Structure 1
Amino acid sequence: MSSTPRQTVLITGANTGIGEASARALAAKHAYHVIIGARNLAAGRAVASSLTAQGLHASAVHLDLADQASIEAAAKTIETDHGGKLDVLVNNAGVLTETDPSAAGLTLRQRFERTFVPNVFGAVCVTEAMLPLLRKAPVPRIVFVSSRMGSLANAQDPGAAFHDDDFRSYDCSKAALNLLALNYARMLRDAGGLVNAVCPGVVSTRINGFMEGAAAVETGAERIVEMATLGAGGPTGTFSDRKGEIAW
Structure 2
Amino acid sequence: MNTERGSIALITGANRGIGYEIAVGLGRLGMTVLMGARDLDQGEPAAARLCGDGIDAQAVRLDVTSGHDPAGAAAWIDAQYGRLDVLVNNAGISGARQAQQPGSADLDTLRAVFATNVFGAVAVTEATLPLLRRSPRARIVNVTSGLGSMTRMTDPHDYFTGLPATLGYSPSKSALNHVTVQYAKHLAPEAILVNAADPGPCATDFTKDLPGVTRTAVDGARIVVHLATLEENGPTGGFFNEAGRVPW
For residues 220 and 53 of structure 2, the distance between their equivalents in structure 1, rounded to whole angstroms, comes to: 23
- Report the CA distance between 1:230 and its aligned residue: 1.1
Please tell me whether the aligned partners of residues 90 and 143 of structure 1 are also in contact (alpha carbons under 8 angstroms): yes
Deviation per residue, 1:126-179 (Å, 9 max, x gap): 000010000110111000101111112112113333433123211110010001
Q: 2:26 matched to which residue of 1?
A: 26
AA partner of residue 205 (structure 1):
T
- Report the CA distance between 1:5 and its aligned residue: 6.5
Does residue 55 of structure 2 align to residue 42 of structure 1? no
AA partner of residue 157 (structure 1):
D
Deviation per residue, 1:59-84 (Å, 9 max, x gap): 110001111211110000111111x1
More moved, 225-234 vs 2-11: 2-11
Deviation per residue, 1:8-62 (Å, 9 max, x gap): 110000001100011011112x111110000011211111111112221111100
Q: 2:247 matched to which residue of 1?
A: 247
Q: 2:225 matched to which residue of 1?
A: 225
Residues matched between the structures, number: 242
**TM-score where L is the length of structure 2:** 0.92
User: Which portions of structure 1, spanning 4 or more consecutive aligned residues, are displaced by more than 6 angstroms?
Assistant: 1-5
Please tell me whether the aligned partners of residues 86 and 140 of structure 2 are also in contact (alpha carbons under 8 angstroms): yes
For residues 178 and 79 of structure 2, the distance between their equivalents in structure 1, rounded to whole angstroms, comes to: 31
Q: 2:123 matched to which residue of 1?
A: 125
Please tell me whether the aligned partners of residues 38 and 61 of structure 1 are also in contact (alpha carbons under 8 angstroms): yes
| Residue from 127, 144, 148 that aligns with 1:150 | 148
- Report the CA distance between 1:185 and its aligned residue: 0.6
**TM-score where L is the length of structure 1:** 0.92
Q: 2:78 matched to which residue of 1?
A: 79
Q: How well do the aligned residues superpose, as a CA RMSD in angstroms?
A: 2.1
User: What SS does structure 2 have at the residue aligned with 1:85?
Assistant: coil
Equivalent positions of 1:38-117 (< 5 A) are 38-82=37-81, 84-99=82-97, 107-117=105-115
